[in-house]
Amino acid sequence: MNNYYTLMIIPEKEKGVKSFKIPALFFRSLAFFVVMLMLLLGILAYDYWKILQQVYENKHLGLENRQLKEQVQLFQMKMNALADDLKRINTFERKLRVITGLEESTGTTPLYNPLVPTEDGADPRQTNNSIQSLENELNFTDIEDRPEFINLKKAYDQKIATTLGLEKSYNITKQWSELARRSFGLSGDYARFDYQYARIKDVVSTLEQNIHHLDQHLLDKESYLSSTPTLLPAQGWITSYFGQRISPHSGKLKMHEGIDVGAPYGTSIIAPADGIITFSGEKAGFGKFVQVDHGFGIETIYAHNQSLHVRNGQKIKRGTLLAAVGNTGHSTGPHLHYEVRVNGIAVDPLYFILE
């Protein structure tokens, strides 16, 4: 076995050949280091390639995370809009309950009909608590402090930690990575969405039960409802509301016992409910005047008309033409003065109007 290798250097033109003896161990060691260097470079190249892949994946996940967060925010906006719609439905449903006598008005002036027991003997007042609870269920402010939300957020934190392989001490570990922090930041959005969805689902279920109850009640109250003035008698704009105001004639504070609906001359005035005409003619201060008895202690009054289209004792239906808007009597411009009286006491007509 050769222990040395001779390296000879032969000039092209000059004389004098130079030779060097190099130990064979040096060549073997050099070959070993070259192989190890190539292996190390290969490992580094592979790791670099994997890092590039991870960087690309992190960038992709970051974009996906941001898009997902935007989508969750969009869902929450839609959820809030749905909650607003449900609030309006709840208000409308409650107004129907007041009109039909299933619930008392919360105003200082009671409405026209006391509550009556349902067919199954239940007290309709018991529905007041559930109706009030709907408003509380749809209140999504400061939900971060509610136990249900906190429990949902903890559950999502644990789920995300399991997905990321950070089951242990993830409260500390999640602070080490920006991507992890973003992922855990979504847990609050998920919890908020789930919380709102659960509340809205409960509200929809309660509303469905209430409306079903109302539907059953209305089947027995068809004639009663047809005699309730639920329409605005004339198309126009409300220029003066029910309540205390300065009288345009005396200049003193005076109770305005109805609402004024401003409208052009000749605008049709229709009956808001079934009834019987108890007065149709001239009346001091009110000009051309119509009064309708709807039964159940309810009466309506229409004043300052230009012309009258009904007579005393005439039976009318909802939608019957009563008169035309005018400026007769003590009036400062063309409008309809509209009153609703319950057992002789003036109440706000807007309690009844469903439009």
Say whether pLDDT at 112 is over 50.
Answer: no
Most confident of 45-49, 57-61, 64-68, 322-326: 322-326
Domain spans of the chain, in order of start: 4-61, 63-220, 237-351
Say whether pLDDT at 226 is over 70.
Answer: yes
Q: Which residue has the higher pLDDT, 104 or 267?
A: 267
pLDDT at 241: 92
pLDDT at 173: 52
Say whether pLDDT at 287 is over 90.
Answer: yes
Q: Which residue has the higher pLDDT, 175 or 72?
A: 72
Q: Of the given ranges (54-68, 116-130, 172-186, 293-307), which has the lowest mean pLDDT? A: 116-130
- Per-residue pLDDT, averaged over 226-234, amounts to 91
- How far apart (Å, rounded) are the C-alpha atoms in residues 253 and 336? 21
Say whether pLDDT at 315 is over 90.
Answer: yes
Q: For residue 280, what are the β-bridge partners?
A: 290
Q: For residue 259, what are the β-bridge partners?
A: 338
Query: pLDDT tens digits, residue range 206-222?
Result: 888 878 777 777 666 67
Say whether pLDDT at 265 is over 90.
Answer: yes
pLDDT at 292: 97
Q: Of the given ranges (89-103, 118-132, 147-161, 233-247), which has the lowest mean pLDDT? A: 118-132
Coil vs helix vs strand at 84: helix
Write out the two tokens for 353: 């109007």
Which amino acid would we find at residue 305?
Answer: N
Q: Which residue has the higher pLDDT, 92 or 334?
A: 334
Q: Of the given ranges (79-88, 239-248, 283-292, 300-309), which has the lowest mean pLDDT? A: 79-88
pTM comes to 0.42
pLDDT at 324: 97
Coil vs helix vs strand at 138: coil
Mean per-residue pLDDT over the chain, rounded? 78
Say whether pLDDT at 120 is over 60.
Answer: no
pLDDT at 107: 44
CATH class for the region spanning 237-351: mainly beta
Q: Which residue has the higher pLDDT, 176 or 327?
A: 327
Q: Which residue has the tokens 């136990």?
A: 147
Burial class (CB in 10 A: 0-12, 13-18, 19+), 191: buried
